Amino acid sequence: MSTSENWIDRGLTHVTKTYGRYPLVAASGEGCWLTDIDGKRYLDFLAGVAVNSLGHCHPKVVAALQEQAGKLLHCSNYYHIPQQIELAEIICEHSFGDRVFFCNSGAEANEAAIKLARKYSADKFGGDRFEIITALDSFHGRTLATISATGQTAIQAGFTPLIPGFKYAPFGDIQALKDAITPQTCAIMMEPIQGEGGVNVPPAGYLQAVRELCDQHELLLIFDEIQVGLGRTGKLFAYQHDAIEPDVMTLAKALAGGPPIGAMVAKEEYAAALAPGTHGSTFGGNPLMAAAGVATMQTILTDGIIENCVAMGSYLLEQLQQLQSKYSFISQIRGRGLILGMELTIAGGDIVKTALERGLLINCTAGKVLRFVPPLIVTTAEIDQMITILDGIFQEL
């Protein structure tokens, strides 16, 4: 029995069955490559689901973690934490935001945004104005409030009653959004590009129209940039493509280059609603994670990461389009920067399994959309290798 098989057996015994895991036992990683416990290398175009944007074990992130680990791991938010302050300063300097609340995951960042929207609205307009409109096919997390916010019945099934106060409108349909607004509405929350829902890009002008709608009705505009933020679309934040600003934005995944962190960014007027005692997190923004966040942000901002994302994004798009011209079962390529989706007319699950066998990590969302979210440091040579493997699989279909 190989070392992998031994771990897989043990993994099926005492760990919850919440994930249908692939037969890969992760051991180490470097750049765009993940190595399993038996020494097999995989070209990683999933990047821990858009977390490892700087590649695996980026030396600057590792050095920041090692240095901080020797000084202070945790001290609680009763005290001021320099690394957390620095990270908040960097995020605010480069975004619309004035203040940042730190937590440990994307779902928690969205929970904070939902609480902030309700609290701001309750303080200003009274407690009857609590509804948040989100998009169908969205994904906002797995806690009870965030599955309630997620416009996908499959994710909600079996967990009712959901948290009241969420309504859904089809993504990209401005009229449907208008029709969903009632006197109870306090906010609109959406991903600028839907990740888990199938890499769905809204029509041009849609996000601006959503911003106008929020202004007209005094609604908070919350952008969930947990997957698309921090350089992945070719700008630091996805909202920057549309010359608008949200009032609140949530971040997580790539923010600390691998370690868990979440953040809710807000303009002063709204952030003020979360006064002392209204919200909190034991671990949120602790010295270790915040140090990794600072190193990650500095690297994204100064090492040509976003420029590389733009260049490699258009190269990958071209290569995927060439595959599309060869294979009739590829119906559409969409996305922006290095979040690209390939919609198929057939199921994608088996393609992902075959790719894994051949040393390529990709995934499939919404049943038939292959999703490509490689590290932003990916090279043309690695893209070529990926395309060769994919082409080989497609030829045999």
Binding footprint of ligand PLP on the chain (CB under 6 A): 105-107, 110, 139-141, 191, 195-196, 224, 226-227, 252-253
Distance CA 143, CA 140 (A): 9
Least separation, in Å, of the C-beta of 46 and ligand PLP? 12
Q: Which is nearer to ligand PLP, 106 or 234 (CB)?
A: 106
60 catalytic? Reply is: no
In angstroms, the Cα distances linking 23 to 14, 26, 48, 217, 358 are: 17, 10, 15, 50, 13
Q: Which is nearer to ligand PLP, 210 or 226 (CB)?
A: 226
Least separation, in Å, of the C-beta of 70 and ligand PLP? 27
Least separation, in Å, of the C-beta of 107 and ligand PLP? 3
329 catalytic? Reply is: no
Least separation, in Å, of the C-beta of 110 and ligand PLP? 6
* Greatest distance between any 2 Cα atoms in the chain: 65
Catalytic residue among 45, 101, 139, 237: 139
Catalytic residue among 119, 235, 253, 368: 253
CA-based nearest residue to 44, from 394, 373, 333 = 373
Residue 144's SS3 state is helix
69: tokens are 């680990």
Distance CA 239, CA 191 (A): 10
Q: Which is nearer to ligand PLP, 111 or 382 (CB)?
A: 111
Distance CA 244, CA 334 (A): 22
Provide the terminal-to-terminal Cα distance of the chain, rounded to the nearest Å: 31
Q: Which is nearer to ligand PLP, 18 or 160 (CB)?
A: 18
Q: Which is nearer to ligand PLP, 105 or 299 (CB)?
A: 105
Give the CB-nearest residue to ligand PLP. 106
384 catalytic? Reply is: no
Least separation, in Å, of the C-beta of 227 and ligand PLP? 3
Please name the amino acid found at residue 162.
Answer: L
Catalytic residue among 224, 235, 247, 372: 224
Distance CA 391, CA 308 (A): 24
Q: In what order do the strands lie in the sheet with 166-169?
A: 99-103, 262-266, 248-251, 220-224, 185-190, 131-135, 166-169
Just list the catalytic residues: 139, 224, 253
